[in-house]
Every structure is written in C-alpha cells, then in structure tokens.
Chain A
Amino acid sequence: MALPRVEKIAAVWRKELLDIVRDRRTLMSMIVVPILLIPVMMIVGGVVAASAMKSLEAKELVIATVDSQASPRLFEALQGVDQATLVDYTGTPLDSLRARISDNWIQAAVIFPGVNLDDPSVQPTVTVMFREDREKSELANRRINKTLDAFTDELVSERLVAFNAPESVVTPFMIEEENLATDEQMILMVLASFLPYMLILITFTGALYPAIDMTAGEKERGTLETLLASPASRLEIVFGKFLAVFSTAMVSGILSVLSLTVAIVSGTSWLGSEIGQELSLEINAGAILGALSMMIPLAALFASILLTVCVFAKSTREAQSYVQPLVFLLILPAMMSMMPGSESTMGSAWTPVVNVSLAVESLLTDQADPTFIGITLLSTTVYALLGILLTSRVFQKETALFRV
C-alpha cells in the first residue's frame, strides 16, 4: 500500500476546516459555547447562588418554645436568635408540633427541660426539633445551636467561677488553626478540580459536530461518493478529516481553558473578593500549557473515536443518536478531578480520560508527579494511535461507507 501523501491530506484538511467554520452548529459548539456560554453560566450561577444565600440568611423564622417558664435564662438567650420570632406552644402535643414543622408553619421547636438550668447538680436535656431536608428548618436549627452554644459557654464560665476553678479545667488546651493556603491557592484548588472536567467535556463537544458532519453528513449530502472517486486514497481522506476534527477539538479546548480561567478569576473578583484581580497574575502559565499539552493526545483520541462511530451512521440524526451515549460515558471519568479522595495511582494513569482529568488537576495545583504525567501522556497517545488505526480500518470498509 502506498504511503499517504501529505499534500492530499492537507487538501482534505483545509477544505474540511473551511467547511466547518461556515457551519453554524459547529461554530456554536466550538467557539460560542466555550467562550460565552460557560463563563456566563458560571457568573450568573454564582450570582444566583450568592443572592439565594443572602435571601436565605435574611429569612424570618418562627421557633416554637415549650415549657420555657422553668428556664427563664435560656428563654432570654433564645430571644437573641437572629431573625427569629419565638412562639409559645406549651401544652401542644408533640405530634402536632412535629406536623407543624413538617407543614412549615414553624421552622423549629425548642422543648425546655422543665428544670432550672442554673442548678449544676442536674444535667437536663434541651430538645430541638427540626427537619434537615428543609432549608429554612435547617437554618433555624443552625441559629438555635449557635445561641445554645454561646449560652452553654456562659453557664460553664459562671460555674467555673463558682467552683473557683480555672478555665483550663474544661478547656485543657486552646486550638489555633493556621491555614497555610492563601486565598489564591484556595481558589486555584476549586479551579483545578473544576477545570479538567469542563476542559475534557468541551474538547469532546468541540469535536462532535465536525465529526458527524464529515462522515454521516457527507454521506447524507451524497458527496462521499465523488470524494472516494478522487485520487485521494481512503487513508489520505481519513487523515485529512481526522486532522480537521482534531483541530476543532483543540481550538475548543484552548478556548475553554482561557475563558474558564478568565471567568473564574473575574467572577471571583466581581462577586466581592479582592483577590480575583491578583490571581490573574499568579496563575501559572506553565501549568496551563502543561494542561493543554495533555489535551493533545486526548483530542486525537476523541477525534478518532467520533469519526469511527459516526461513519457507520447513514444520517446526521442517526450519528447524533450514536454519540449521545458517548457523552454520558465521558462524564464520570471526566469528573474524577472533582471527586473527593481521587488519587493519581498507576492504575488511573492507564485509564483513559480519568488520567487526563487527574493529571490536569495535579498540574494546576502544582502537585504533578512526573511519572504519572509521563504515563498519562504515553497511554493516551497509544490509545489515540489505536483509535486512528481503527478509524482508518473502518474507512476501508464498504459496509460502513455504503450501509443501506
């Protein structure tokens, strides 16, 4: 078999790129989604979440008290609960009280113990009823707990004075946390766990429509037959198409990294943190480049898989139904960087997509293990080469190209 000729491959590649950039669907998935949609989603999502949090904090709560007469000091303390109105429900059966919490008439109930809490000889129980699955009720519980903790500290201090005992009796030592991570590093950690997922997914979707268009689309339009009758060999056609899909995947990947970085940094700044502006100067350009270099073999793998799958489809609609499950299959391994406790082991270094997700995360957080990165690059390159081999074999099959 003759070796593929570079000029023929380049001719196919150039034509496919020209065709792609004139396709609105491809432009949407390749440029508009990574550049505009995701940052806008993130910023709008952040604003919505922040405003929802703010509105939750401002919510007025109703807290029922039962038998509060016996502990006037505790009642007095509870009156200090933020944004809460205390309503006396003494005498109401407990089941009825529970029903009212479930019905959201009241958000929580505090059942007093019926004894004076100033008496150190007893250790009574204060019961707090709430529903953890209800946002407002859970908020009421948190506010009540905060108030009760402060009241407990107050009682303990009084008793220590009464018994003439030092504070160290109940608090043998103090704890002082010193978080070495700077605000910048904390944000970078969030970015590093989120970015690989988005990067992998956007690189894949960037390759998706061009792959469909160049295979099933070409069949559907009926242009494949004349292309196959041209002097370009099947291998040259495959390589040209592969390079075009790979190019769009890489463009999408690069744009997503840039826009996500800018979005997170500017979004952080916009949402009130002052570190956003500084962070933009501190993000390691080398780490970003390293992350993108990991994407090269992965984009090649995606391009080959998508071309292989889509060439079997008779129409673009059919091709879309073929690639849909692939998107779902991709989500879990791509999310590995966001999973708590996921580690860069040798096993994961050989697992496609998982390895890149973890490697990109480690690069961004400056914790990269050169062996892991090396194996990730090697294994993904091997998979990509196998993928290209498979694609070229499938393109030789008449049953795939001329399925009836």
Chain B
Amino acid sequence: MIDVRGLSKTFEDRKRGKIEAVKSISFEVHKGEIFGLLGTNGAGKTTTLRMLATILQPTAGTAVVAGHDVSAEPAKVREHIGYLTGDTNLYTRLTPREMLTYYANLFGLSKADRLAAIERVAKRFGLDEFIDTKIGKLSTGQRQRTSISRAVIQQPELMIFDEPTAGLDPISARHITEFIREGRSGGVTLLFSTHYLREAENLCDRIAIMHDGEIKATGTLAEILSQTGTEDLEQAFFSLADPQAAAAT
C-alpha cells in the first residue's frame, strides 16, 4: 500500500541554514496493516507523513502510495487517503454537517453518495445529537469525533494519522485508539505517527522507530526487540534513540 524508498526532505531556514528533517528513509506498509512511526518530537514523523499525504514535496527519493507516486500523481494519492492530525482543528463557524458536506464535495461525491456518507459517519461516530451545532460550541470529544468523520467521509482504503492522540484527554484519545482497532478488522491500512510507546505497542502490526530524521529499526515488536537485544519497546526505543542514556541505565 505504501512503498517508501530513500525519501528525504530538507528545509531551508534563513537563521538555521539547511535542515535535514528526513534523511533517506525507506519502509513499506502492507495492505490491511497498522504501521506506526514511533519517535520523539522533531524526529521527522510529521514531515514524513506530510510527504506521503502530498502536502510537502520530497527533496529526494520516491514514495508510492495506493499505487501512485506522490510527486508525479499527488491528486491521485489524495483521493485514496484519509488524513488526520491530533489537533482536531476544524472550521469552528461551520456545523459538523457543513464540514462533512465540504469534504464530501472535495472528494467529488455525488449528492446521493454524500448524504449516505454523512449518515454513515454520523451513525458510526454518534454525531446525530450535535451534527447541526456549530463546531465552536462542541466539546473536545465531539470535535474529535467530527474530525475522524471528516477523515473517513470517502471511506479511504488508507488512513494517515499524524499523532492522532497527542494532547487529547484520555477519553478523546480512547475514541481514536478504538477507531484504529476497528479499522484493523475492517481491512483498512493505517499509518500513524506517535511518541507514545504504549500506543505503538498496543496498536501496531509493525513499527518503525524514527530518530533525528532516520529510521533506526523497522519490524514487528518481536523483530525490533530481537534486533536491539532488549526486553521491551521502551528499552529498544532508548537503545536506538539515545544509546548513551540507555547504556547508563
């Protein structure tokens, strides 16, 4: 579903000069798999996901998402993905129905398909009680449900979630993790980034540990533990991300 080869991203900053946010990373995400990018803040996770969602252009390397190259056919890629960030940033002056209508229109759904899609997500995520209330008046949890509904309005075969639970209260975060678990049974492919070790451990079929723009290890939890010779993900993570600190403990 996703094939990343030597993907890099360099930013030019007037003060700091060249910043290599992502350094020639490679990994694959198979169909129906939940794949986690685990890393600290600034590891390059968001930049990687933004490149795969065609929001940013790679500086080097290739990435094929849902059969389309992110540089050559960005519009085709976007038609196949549902993209979500943990910020639950929505148009506060619109209602969830208006917001969902907007995105359904951007995905080119016909009126009948659009109405059916809104009904489907409203039922699935329990939006009915507030679907015609302005988003600005909704609680964080209600916003989060609206946000997920927006990301899946076109029933994407691949979902890319950038730190979907970051900064959320436990109940709102649970909505997301439950949704990810359910996605697994529905055969949806999911790539998400997180800096929560437990989240990666509990949800992912495979994990890539990112640090300083590089992928340090990729595989199932067992494979990563075997590669690093550690007993749990926390030890494995620190041995890759901060070997000196790991050695000291």
Contact = CB atoms under 8 A, between A and B. Distances in A.
A49 interface: no
A221 B143 CA distance: 13
A54 interface: no
Report which residue of A2, A8, A11, A12 has the largest number of chain B beta carbons within 10 angstroms of its beta carbon.
A11
A221 B92 contact: yes
Interface stretch (B27-35, B103-111, B124-132): B103-111
B54 interface: yes
B150 A8 contact: no
A226 B49 CA distance: 12
Contact of B83 (A11, A226, A232, A404): A226
Interface stretch (A16-24, A312-320, A330-338): A16-24
B79 interface: yes
A11 B93 CA distance: 16
A221 B147 CA distance: 14
Given A19-B94, A223-B90, A228 B55 contact: yes
A223 B50 CA distance: 14
A398 B106 contact: no
B235 to A, nearest CB: 33
Which size bracket describes the interface of A in this complex?
20 to 34
A237 to B, nearest CB: 9
A20 B108 CA distance: 23
A105 interface: no
B91 interface: yes
28 contacts: A7-B105, A7-B108, A11-B102, A15-B98, A15-B105, A18-B98, A19-B91, A19-B93, A23-B93, A221-B91, A222-B85, A222-B87, A225-B83, A227-B106, A228-B54, A229-B53, A229-B54, A229-B55, A229-B78, A230-B78, A230-B103, A230-B106, A231-B78, A231-B108, A233-B74, A398-B56, A399-B12, A402-B56
B81 interface: yes
B57 to A, nearest CB: 7
A229 B87 contact: no
Nearest 8 pairs between A and B by C-beta? A222-B89, A11-B105, A229-B83, A22-B93, A230-B106, A229-B53, A15-B102, A231-B78
B119 to A, nearest CB: 19
Interface of A: 2, 7-8, 10-12, 14-15, 18-19, 22-23, 221-223, 225-233, 398-399, 402, 404
Contacts of A7: 105, 108
Interface in B3-62: 11-13, 50, 53-57
A22 B134 CA distance: 10
A11 B101 CA distance: 9
A246 to B, nearest CB: 19
Nearest to B150: A226
Contacts of A225: 50, 55, 83, 85, 89
Given A14-B102, A222-B87, A228-B54, 19 more contacts: A2-B75, A11-B106, A15-B94, A15-B98, A15-B105, A18-B98, A22-B93, A23-B93, A221-B91, A221-B92, A223-B90, A226-B83, A226-B89, A227-B106, A229-B54, A230-B103, A230-B106, A233-B75, A402-B56
Residue from the set A19, A223, A229, A399 with the largest chain B CB neighbour count within 10 Å: A229
Contacts of A10: 105
Interface residues of B, number: 35
Interface of B: 11-13, 50, 53-57, 74-75, 78-79, 81, 83-85, 87, 89-94, 98, 102-103, 105-108, 134, 150-151, 160
Nearest to B9: A398
Contacts of B54: 228-229
Contacts of B134: 22
A398 B91 CA distance: 22
Contacts of B92: 221
A225 B151 CA distance: 12
B45 to A, nearest CB: 14
Contacts of A222: 85, 87, 89
B177 to A, nearest CB: 20
B108 A18 contact: no
B105 A226 contact: no
Contacts of B102: 11, 14-15
Residue of A2, A12, A225 with most chain B CB atoms under a 10 A cut-off = A225
Contacts of A233: 74-75
A232 B12 CA distance: 27
Of the candidates B83, B106, B150, the one having the most CB atoms from chain A within 10 angstroms of its own CB is B106
B57 A398 contact: yes
B79 A231 contact: yes
Contacts of A228: 53-55
Contacts of A18: 94, 98
A212 to B, nearest CB: 15
Given A18-B94, A19-B94, A226-B83, A231 B89 contact: no
A404 B93 CA distance: 26
Nearest to B83: A229
Contacts of B11: 404
Contacts of A12: 106
A8 B108 contact: yes
Contacts of B151: 226
